[in-house]
Amino acid sequence: MIRILHDMPPATVGVEAVGEVTEEDFRTVLQPMLEDALQRGAIGLLYVLDGRTDSYSAGTAWKNTRRWSKHLKGWKRVALVSDADWLENAVKAFGWLLPGEVKVFETDDVPEAKAWLVGIDLDDDDD
């Protein structure tokens, strides 16, 4: 299932994949939300892959990413939140193929991911 996250900073949108992610989730939830967000000028996308997501292997992620990759062109920043090592490795290897910036965050770093989407560094120790 894909859930829309409502507590997002301005000019950003967020979704969370929980449990089994289906074709219908992409067609009825993700695709319309992405299209609407891009029409409104959203610049940041947060995609949370919940640790309980059991059917979201590297192969499934790639197949589904191809379905909505046309929507990636409008994003300045994409934050992926997951503890899956393969995802971070894939972004390191292929992130340069995607428009804008892509960064992977650990599951307990959602606030940092949201801040990064709008250009705020919460780890700034200059204080």
- Give the residue with greater pLDDT, 73 vs 12: 12
15-52: buried (b, 16+ CB within 10 Å) or exposed (e) per residue? bbbbeebeeebbeebbbebbeebbeeebbbbbbbbbee
pTM attached to this predicted model: 0.78
- The rounded distance, in Å, linking the Cα atoms of 23 and 103 is 25
**Do 44 and 76 meet the contact criterion of CB atoms below 8 Å apart?**
yes
Position 34 in a domain = yes
Q: Residue 74's domain spans which residues?
A: 2-117
CA distance 122 to 111: 9
Nearest residue to 71 (alpha-carbon basis) of 97, 32, 117, 110? 32
Q: What DSSP state is assigned to residue 84?
A: -
Q: How high is the mean pLDDT of the chain?
A: 79
Q: Kindly state whether residue 124 falls inside one of the protein's structural domains.
A: no
Q: How many domains does the chain have?
A: 1
pLDDT, tens digit, for every residue of 52-74? Answer: 555 455 555 555 555 555 556 67
For residue 56, the domain's CATH number is 3.30.750
Residue 126 is assigned to a structural domain of this protein: no
Residue 15 or residue 127, greater confidence: 15
- Rounded to an integer, the average pLDDT of 78-91 is 83
pLDDT band at 14 (very low <50, low <70, confident <90, very high): very high
